[in-house]
Amino acid sequence: MKDNFYEAKKIMCMYCKCNETAETFTTHVVNYKSCLIIVKNVPCVECVQCGESFFSDEVAATLEKIVNHAKNFLQEISVIDYQKAA
C-alpha cells in the first residue's frame, strides 16, 4: 500500500489505545435496505490487539463511491473487489 496516511504517522487504536497496528486488507460490509454490499480487499490499518480497522481519508472516500454506485444496482447481495473497483 502506498498511502501517505499509513507511512506518515503511527496510528493509535481509538478503541483500546494500543500503539501497535499493521497495514493489511479487510472486508467492508454495508447493510442497505435489507441488501448486503460487500467490498473485499480494502486497504486498512488494523489494531493488533483488538482487531479494529481504520481507513485513510482516500480509502474512505473511494469506499463511499463504490457503495453509492452499488446502491444503484440493488441486489440482495453485491460483492465488489476494492482493488478492481477503485
pLDDT tens by residue, 9-44 = 577 888 999 988 899 999 999 999 989 999 999 999
With cut-offs at 50, 70 and 90, classify the pLDDT of residue 73: confident
Q: List Cα–Cα distances, 62 to 20, 48, 56, in angstroms.
A: 25, 25, 10
Query: What residues does each domain of the chain span?
Result: 4-85
Q: What is the pLDDT of residue 76?
A: 87
d(CA 56, CA 43): 9
Closest to 81 (Cα-Cα) out of 39, 43, 31: 39
Assigned CATH for 4-85: 3.10.20.860
